[in-house]
Structure 1
Amino acid sequence: MQEEIEGAPPARSSVEFHARRLAEQVSVNRYLYLQTLQMEHMLLEPDSMQGLLEVLLVSLPRHYGFRIAELWLLDPEESLAELIVGGERYGPYLQLHRDAFEMQELYPLEPDIQLIDATDSRMFEVLKFERGIDQALLLPLLVDGRLLGSLHIGMEENSLAFGDEEEDLLAHLSLLIARCLSRAILHQQVTQLTLLDPLTRISNLRGFERDIAREIARARRANQPVSVLLIDVDEYDELHDHYGEVRGHFVLKKVAERISSDLRATDMLARLARARLAVLLPACNESRGEDIAERIRQDIDDFAIDDGRGAVLQVTLSVGMVTWEPQHYPAVDMEQLAKQIETVSKKALGDARARGGNCTAVSRLAPLLV
């Protein structure tokens, strides 16, 4: 005998439930629905922050036919600043905020999707670097009720169907973006531990191999050159044997810090081996790369390293350089190209060392080999 609970709705049979499910329908803008289905696949594909940022800030507005996208991320401990490689590419459209106050001010007490126009004062806070924006769609990025960030999409007036059903669809997209961001951040934190050199806190060999593969692919798409500097600290073994491991490591750290200060925000520095470093220079031709190499070499030659124990240490660098220019050396096999760049840069470095060190040597890719 079934006991009925007082005040509870009447029990329904499975047939009634099935009929009710079939009868329930929602009408939603077909274009927005189909584009969102495709966007879900695009969001779920990358597992790195770099890949996800590319989807959110480049692919998403193009996919929907919007003008621009802007992403604010909460970074109270400035840990994201260290995790995101190449974020400078997005300029003001990627912002890291230490305080959540500005983000929270964009939304009601319970953050939800907002469609605002030029009469709304919040338009002075978001997408302020973009002109000709009639409306902005604000998507709060929430994980477990916590505001992780805020995505702002700029568009022309009436370019988005926006009823209750469309708002629910975008709310689903907002939740998915937040989850993907949370996953990518966690993945990046774990990956970062395996891609960093523990001594100098710059990329290690594995990190450099990942970076050069990514930059070669980007250079090919953009038809831009990319240069690689391979650097040895001259006579490091003698310095290590004479002064000991502690001072030898201290010198390496100081040299890495000094070289980092000479580089552009988009350049990448890595430690490949004991006293061997590499610099990846995106969008950099041979002439400019040689200038950068010489500036680095000269700077270290003039750099007096105070070890804090009364001794001043000085070292010099041997630098080998190679440049790949897609328009001059077309390549199909990117993996083979990366190996070719590595081989030629080692030859250039060998030439610099053969000259007695403290100099820069340039080698060129052979077109038939690429």
Structure 2
Amino acid sequence: MEEDITTELCVLQSHLDGILDRVYHNSLTLKRLQAFEMRLLGLNSLAEMIEFILGETKDLFDLDIVSLCLLDSKDDISTCLANDNYQFQTRAGLLLAKEEALFKQRFDFAHRPLLGIYHAENYGKFFDLQSPSPSSVILAPLIRRGKYLGSLNLGSYRPDRFICNMATDFIEHLASVLSVCLENILTFETMRRTSLVDPLTGVNNRRFLEQRIEEELDRSQRSRDPLSCLFLDIDFFKRINDGHGHQAGDHVLASVAGAIKKQLRSNDVLSRYGGEEFVALLSQSDQVRAGEIAERIRMAISALSIQFNQRDIPVTLSIGTATFLPMAGKIQVAEIAGQLIQTADAALYQAKHNGRNRVESGGSIDVAWIDKDC
């Protein structure tokens, strides 16, 4: 009898120890989750948030694979990340989905996490797998105000890590917090982008240029790569407004901006400077390269077929170029930024003076040249 009681007590003690271990483990997980949330709330950009989620979630839950699939039906996210020079196309674990149907097909029945054994036909689109496939997964929908933002997808090489009857309280809570943070930061990024984009042409505005040019000069100085500036102006734009009307002029501006942008790389910066003037910053481009790109743009615009109210509107561009050559030592970035634009503007004036529809080079500027000029 005493032996039976002793055995039962040992079993009960073992169960109690197991319960206490789980309580302790859950308490630690909760503390780590709270620390995770506090850091998440302090992030200032979408790129920072993506990096944090993909890196820290893996450590938080001791996972083998983590992916973040975001709905980007209007290319707002990709545009935002590109403007911040974030290499989203090659970031492992990040997927941008065009269609909301991807999430509706998986989550519309319960709006709750899906978990279980990994099947490529069901879950393959939620993972960017460059390594072995997970054995078990959990997919948590990111939903805010009834709309899908994306999903957080976790994978393990252990088949028993995520099973159908396990509790999902922690992951549901995390998904809710991520959804709120993601919505807030997307709203902020949209407002920021709107304030820095010219609404008529859809390219960056002068305010954006004034912020970005100093960043580009800093990058040029660190990498020792040249930075070139193009100053572009539509020839006889006043005649277009006077002869065809201001709506036609607006149409020309938007068409020309789109055509210029097609001739530039994704890491180049195009801004509407004012009126019919545009400025482009060409990273890693010397004087010769800048001239080639400027000539390519000029030819593309002169070949452009623009119509408004069934009337053809011929358009040409005059372009001035200038190139910054980095040197050793500290530089006065604001001073060089002004000189670079001023030199390209002077070359543009020369192109106008020499007959328009042409490219003129203002040459190269460097720190020593500026000091001497000053």
TM-score relative to the length of structure 2: 0.69
Give the superposition deviation at 1:296: 0.8
Give the superposition deviation at 1:347: 0.6
* Cα offsets for 1:153-209 (capped at 9, x unmatched): 56x636x98899995444333222211221123233434443332332322212333
Q: 1:113 and 1:34 mapped to 2: Cα distance?
A: 21
Q: For the structure 1 residues 91 and 146, does the alpha-carbon distance in structure 2 shift closer, same or farther, using more than 3 Å as the test?
A: same
Residue 25 of structure 2 corresponds to 27
Residue 43 of structure 2 corresponds to 45
Residue 103 of structure 1 aligns to a residue whose secondary structure is helix
* Cα offsets for 1:49-71 (capped at 9, x unmatched): xx213431x34333445777543
Q: 1:343 and 1:226 mapped to 2: Cα distance?
A: 13
Give the superposition deviation at 1:246: 4.0
Between structures 1 and 2, the one with greater helix share:
2
Q: 1:275 and 1:180 mapped to 2: Cα distance?
A: 39
Give the one of 68, 72, 76 matched to 2:69: 72
On the 8 A contact 1:74/1:148 being kept in 2, the answer is: yes
Residue 126 of structure 2 aligns to a residue whose secondary structure is coil
* Cα offsets for 1:61-86 (capped at 9, x unmatched): 3344577754333356x373686351
Q: For the structure 1 residues 296 and 69, does the alpha-carbon distance in structure 2 shift closer, same or farther, using more than 3 Å as the test?
A: farther
Task: State which drifts further: 191-200 or 62-71.
Answer: 62-71
Q: 1:29-178, aligned counterparts within 5 Å?
A: 30=28, 33-34=31-32, 37-38=35-36, 40-46=38-44, 51-56=45-50, 58-63=51-56, 64=58, 70-75=67-72, 78=74, 80=76, 84-86=80-82, 89-91=87-89, 93-98=94-99, 100-107=100-107, 109-114=109-114, 118-119=118-119, 121-134=121-134, 137-153=138-154, 157=157, 167-178=168-179
Q: 1:166 and 1:226 mapped to 2: Cα distance?
A: 55
Q: 1:311-330, aligned counterparts within 5 Å?
A: 311-323=312-324
Residue 313 of structure 1 aligns to a residue whose secondary structure is coil
- Structure index of larger Rg: 2
Residue 351 of structure 1 corresponds to 347
Q: For the structure 1 residues 367 and 339, does the alpha-carbon distance in structure 2 shift closer, same or farther, using more than 3 Å as the test?
A: closer
Q: 2:289 and 2:295 mapped to 1: Cα distance?
A: 10
Give the superposition deviation at 1:94: 3.5
- Aligned: 1:202 with 2:203: yes
Q: 1:34 and 1:52 mapped to 2: Cα distance?
A: 22
- Aligned: 1:299 with 2:300: yes
Residue 141 of structure 1 aligns to a residue whose secondary structure is strand
Residue 25 of structure 2 aligns to a residue whose secondary structure is coil
Q: 1:177 and 1:36 mapped to 2: Cα distance?
A: 13
Q: For the structure 1 residues 33 and 331, does the alpha-carbon distance in structure 2 shift closer, same or farther, using more than 3 Å as the test?
A: farther
Residue 258 of structure 2 corresponds to 257
Gaps of 5+ in 1: 1-24
The one-letter amino acid paired with 1:52 is: L
Q: 2:263 and 2:142 mapped to 1: Cα distance?
A: 37
Q: For the structure 1 residues 54 and 45, does the alpha-carbon distance in structure 2 shift closer, same or farther, using more than 3 Å as the test?
A: closer
On the 8 A contact 1:39/1:60 being kept in 2, the answer is: no
Q: 1:285 and 1:174 mapped to 2: Cα distance?
A: 44
Identity of aligned residues (%): 21
Q: For the structure 1 residues 144 and 311, does the alpha-carbon distance in structure 2 shift closer, same or farther, using more than 3 Å as the test?
A: closer
Q: 1:267 and 1:278 mapped to 2: Cα distance?
A: 11
On the 8 A contact 1:251/1:305 being kept in 2, the answer is: yes
- Aligned: 1:285 with 2:285: yes
Q: For the structure 1 residues 248 and 289, does the alpha-carbon distance in structure 2 shift closer, same or farther, using more than 3 Å as the test?
A: same
On the 8 A contact 2:66/2:154 being kept in 1, the answer is: yes
Alignment RMSD: 4.3
* Cα offsets for 1:259-286 (capped at 9, x unmatched): 123233444422111121122445x332
On the 8 A contact 1:61/1:68 being kept in 2, the answer is: no
On the 8 A contact 2:70/2:96 being kept in 1, the answer is: yes
Residue 366 of structure 2 corresponds to 366
Q: For the structure 1 residues 112 and 224, does the alpha-carbon distance in structure 2 shift closer, same or farther, using more than 3 Å as the test?
A: farther
Q: Aligned residues, how many?
A: 333
Q: For the structure 1 residues 297 and 85, does the alpha-carbon distance in structure 2 shift closer, same or farther, using more than 3 Å as the test?
A: farther
* Cα offsets for 1:297-330 (capped at 9, x unmatched): 22223335334454442322213243576xx556
